Chains A and B, each alone.
Chain A
Amino acid sequence: MDPQTLAEQAKALADQTQSLAALAADLAQQAQMLGAQGAMGQPPLIMLFAAFVLACFVGFLAAQGVASANRDKVKGALGVVASSLVVAAILAASPGGMSLSKILGLLALCLASEVLFGCAVASQRWLASPKDQNKTGEEA
C-alpha cells in the first residue's frame, strides 16, 4: 500500500472521528438538558389530574356567586392568573444561543408579561374607582 493511499484513508478516518465527536457532543447536550429537567421534581400524571379537577371545582365555586358589579374585577384577577403562562414562556426562552423555539418563547414571554401588567393595572384602576366599576359592571 503506497503512502498516498494510507494518507487518504487516515484523512477519511479523521473526518469520521470528527463527525462522531460532534454527534456525541450534541447527544451529551441533549442528555444534560433532559437530566436538568428530570431533577425538577415533575409530579406524576394522576396527581396533576387530581389537582386539575380540584382547581376546576374551586374556580367555579369561587366565581359562581359573584355579583355583576364585581365581575369585571374578578375577570381582571383571572387575567393575572392566566398570565402564569410566563413560567412556560421562561422555560421556552431559557437556552443560550438563538433558535426558532427560543424566539417563539421570547414572543410568548412578551405577550404574557403584557397581559400580566395590563390586567394588574386594570384591576387596580377598577378598585380605585368603585363608582365607575359599578356602572360598567352592569353592562358586562
Chain B
Amino acid sequence: MTGDIASLVYLGAITLFILAIRDMASAQSGLRGLVYLVVGMAGAILAALMLPNVLAYTSIAASIAIGAAAGTVAVKRLKPELLAQAVAVMQGLIGLAAVLIAVAALLSPAVFGIGVAGQLSFSLLGLLWLGAGFGLAAFVGSLPAYASRKVSLDNGEKPLPLRLFFASSTGWAMACLGFALANLLLVVAGGLVGAASIALALPDGREAASGD
C-alpha cells in the first residue's frame, strides 16, 4: 500500500471517529458509534501495517495481542462504578506511549522518515520534546485517578469524582507527534481528543441552569 492510499484510509477513519463521538453522546445511537470506532480503528491499523517499510510483523502482532489481552481482561473484571477511573488511567497510559514514541523518534528518526539522528532541525526537536512533555503530564495526571480507584477498591467506597483535565494533554501530545511525523491521523485525532476533553471537563450549562 502506498502512502497516498494510507492517507485516504486515515481520512475515512477520521470521519468515522467524528461520527462515533457524536453517536456516543446519545444513549440510542451509542452502539452504532462503537461500531464506527471499531471499523475506523481497524482500517487505520491495517493501513499502517501495509506500509512498505513495515517488516517486523511477528513482534508487532505479539505486542498487539499482549496489549489487547491485558486491556480486555483488566476492564472486564472491574466493577461498573470503577470503569470511569479505568478509562482515566488508560488515557494516562496513552501519554506514556507518546513519551516512548517521542524518545524512539529522537533515537532513530530515519525509521519515521524525518531525518538522520543527530541532525534533526530545531523545530522537529522542539515538537518531539513538547509531545514527550505533554505525554508525561497526561501520565502523571492519571496517577490520582489510579490512587482514587485503589482507595475505593480497598475500602469498598464509591470512587472520588474525576475531572479529566489531564486527558486533554494526551490529545496535545498526539498532535505534537503528528506534526513531527507529518501524520494526518495523529494530528486530527489529537485535536479531537484534546478539544473534546476540555469540553467534557467543563460543567454542563443546562444542568447548572436547571439546578439553580
Query: Do A122 and B86 have beta carbons less than 8 Å apart?
Result: yes
What is the number of residues of chain A that contact chain B, defined by CB distance less than 8 Å? 96
Q: Which residues of A contact B (CB under 8 A)?
A: 30, 33-34, 36-43, 45, 48-49, 51-96, 99-102, 104-127, 129-130, 132-133, 135-136, 139-140
The number of chain B residues with a CB under 8 A from chain A is: 112
**Closest A-chain residue to B83, C-beta based?**
A122
Q: Can you identify 19 A-B contacts, CB atoms within 8 angstroms?
A: A48-B178, A48-B179, A52-B190, A56-B195, A59-B191, A62-B192, A66-B199, A68-B207, A84-B17, A85-B101, A91-B111, A94-B60, A95-B108, A104-B107, A111-B100, A117-B68, A118-B72, A118-B87, A135-B81
Confirm or deny: B25 has a beta carbon within 8 angstroms of a beta carbon on chain A.
Answer: yes
B187 interface contact, C-beta 8 A: yes
A92–B112 touching, CB < 8 Å: yes
Which of B22, B34, B193 has the most A CB atoms < 10 Å from its CB? B193
Q: Which residues of B contact A (CB under 8 A)?
A: 2-4, 6-7, 10, 13-14, 17-18, 20-22, 24-27, 30-31, 33-34, 37-38, 41, 44-45, 48-49, 51-56, 59-60, 63-68, 70-72, 74-76, 80-81, 83-84, 86-88, 90-91, 93-94, 96-98, 100-101, 103-105, 107-108, 110-114, 116, 158-159, 161-162, 164, 167, 170-171, 174-175, 177-179, 181-200, 202, 204, 206-207
Of A67, A83, A107, A121, which one neighbours B207 at CB under 8 angstroms? A67
